[in-house]
Structure 1
Amino acid sequence: MNLFLKETLICGLAAFSMSFGAGNTVFPVLVGAYGGDASLFSGLGLMTADVLLTLLGMIGLCFFAGNTRQYLAPFGKYPAQLILLAIVLLMGPLGIAPRCITVSYGAVAELFPSIPLAAFALGYCGLLGYLLMQPSKLLDRVGAIMTPILVLGIACLVYYALRVPYLASGVQPLGPQAFHFGFQQGLQTLDMIGVFVAMPVI
């Protein structure tokens, strides 16, 4: 395979894997279940807030070669630093990291209920720390190793959802609020701010 094509493929897979977090397994299912007959519109709302805004963020950062400081420079030096600090905190200890741990633990606990959450969280953070200790290899590991595992997991989830249909009981039809509901859930994935962490690596 051509070297440029290979690097492009790995970068694309890495961008997909970095953007696809725990929220992307929770909120789309929620939108589909609560959307009911209006799930098409709620799904469009989700994709607008999640996929479209994330892509626009990636494209915008590409004009600055992934340099987040230059991208936020119009806000001023100190406001830009505060914005980046808030993003790092949301993507780390105050938002995404706890959600990833709890969602992953929920899946593991179904198979191994005897594993305590604290032990799982310790192992999860240890593995993550090991991967981050060698940042030069992070892109290759995420793009070439973790992404196929992620895609396989998504395929299994879709297969299971199609084989075992689920209808949310006691849910009121969303009606004209379907798009707005989907848009709100899409924002909660936090993918649009995740690009500030992923793009400098890519």
Structure 2
Amino acid sequence: MNKLSRKNLLLVSLMLFSMFFGAGNLIFPPVLGQMSGTNLLLSLSGFLASAVGLPILAVAVVAKADGLQNLASRINKPFALIFTLLIYLSIGPFLGIPRAASLSFETSIAPFLPTSVTGGALPLFLYTVCFFGLSFWLSMNPNKLVDRFGKILTPAILILIFIIFIGSLVNPLGSFSAPIGDYASFPVLKGFLDGYMTMDAIAALNFGIVVALVLKKQGITDKKALSTYTIKAGLIAGLVLTVIYLMLSCLGAAAQTKFGNTTNGAQTLTKVVSYLFNTNGLIILGLTFGLACLTTCVGLITSCSEYFSRIIPKVSYKVWVTTITLSSMLFANVGLTNILKISVPVLSAIYPMAIVLIILAFTHNLFKGYNSVYSFSMLFTAVFSISDSLNQVGLKISFLSSMPLAKQGLVWVIPALVGTLLGLLYSIIKEVSFSKETPLNEYNK
């Protein structure tokens, strides 16, 4: 059977949405709304391009390439192995999963604990034991994720967000104010950069393998059908994300006039729900953050375990789930602040390469899939993205500050374009030169 019912396609799409939608996706849109004010639609358009458009493209190109490693192999095999490992390790047990778990503790549990207790290590440890115990149980049966996510956890997350949004309509927070800083000067670009920081494009490179696994469990075995349904699931998940981001950013924009500027989106949402629902609002918000982080962590554990069980088949999927869950729990207890210090420069180095790979794969036919285009553009991107990440950890590289778009955090963009053009030019010259050569068999006539 290579047909999927509309109901099952919707459930797979909701599962994919829930894997994308972590605590970071809850935090960024309210801040964007708060800072952009009357420029909300402009900023949101940029945000949606990078926070929804790029992840959907990533799901599509990985599905068509039949896996991230096959896609990255268009550069070369050593790069594919190293890059894929870095992606899975960074978004998985070393950074992505521990960060989501720690963040869920900070937003779901810590606000309800006495101040004297929150500074200690024991509450976080006990929480991570429970959190990762539940994550482990959910990850052990990936074929059941559609039912557990699509039918239970995702609807719960959506209902909680809708409750908050409807509450803001019944009891209006205020009108939108004037945009602030970069949101006034270049709102679309600033919105793009905010969406870029959700890191969902990297997650999308991982999640494609989970969607394919789930579809296979439902009887979809044909490669073309797998690719088609994966892309459709990505589009539907993207539509749901767009609606949620619109609601959350509107909440942030309306809250600015009532509460002023806050440090982060978690504080904005806390003030909004406290105003709308009193202490019950904190419970609603805590459940929303907790479920969002849980579904993301399960998606990451599942995708990482599936990948490592493929490249090292002697170690079973269940052993990998156990290993990744335990190591993630260990790193989560380092604390959110320390995890963020590590994650920002690491992801800053990897993320631009992921974006370039996604865009090149999407435009593959436009440049005839020349290998040199992939190689040159990736080389130029890697040099500047890694240099920029070293800058962030204190190894100052002076020439970067004079590069275009350096202040906007996009120092790699122009080098990537230059690498693409050089790769294209090199391939064309090589192709023309080769066509002028007399084939060897001509001499044998």
Alignment of 1:16-165 (within 5 A): 16-65=17-66, 67-109=67-109, 112-113=112-113, 116-160=123-167, 162=169, 163=171, 165=173
TM-score (norm 2): 0.41
Contiguous gaps of at least 5 residues in structure 2: 212-445
Contact 2:59 2:207 in 1 (8 A): no
TM-score (norm 1): 0.84
Query: C-alpha separation between the residues in 2 aligned to 1:155 and 1:117?
Result: 29
Distance 1:32 1:47 in 2: 13
CA deviation after TM superposition for structure 1 residue 160, in Å? 4.9
Aligned equivalents of 2:56, 2:194: Cα separation in 1: 17
> Percent identity, aligned pairs only?
29
Alpha-carbon distance between aligned partners in 1 of 2:166 and 2:94, rounded to the nearest angstrom = 33
Describe the SS at the equivalent of 1:74.
coil
Counterpart residue number, 1:8:
9
Q: Greater relative contact order: 1 or 2 (C-alpha under 8 angstroms, separation 6 or more)?
A: 1
CA RMSD in angstroms, aligned pairs only: 2.7
Residue 161 of structure 1 deviates from its aligned partner by 5.1
**What runs of 5+ residues in structure 1 fail to find an aligned partner?**
none
Mapped to 2, the partners of 1:10 and 1:51 lie a distance apart of 19
Paired residues of 2:50 and 2:193 also in contact (CA < 8 A): yes
Q: Within the alignment, does 1:190 sit opposite 2:196 as a pair? A: no
1:111 CA drift (Å): 6.4
Change (3 A) 1:193 1:157: farther
Letter in 2 for 1:186: G
CA radius of gyration, larger in: 2
Residues 125-134 or 139-148, more deviating: 139-148
Structure 1 residue 61 displacement after superposition: 2.0
Amino acid at match of 1:19: F
Q: What is the CA–CA distance in structure 1 between the aligned matches of 2:98 and 2:164, rounded to whole Å?
A: 22
Aligned equivalents of 2:173, 2:90: Cα separation in 1: 34
Q: Which amino acid aligns with 2:159?
A: L
After TM superposition, what 4+ stretches of structure 1 lie above 6 angstroms from structure 2?
A: none
Stretch of structure 1 that moved more, 17-26 or 109-118: 109-118
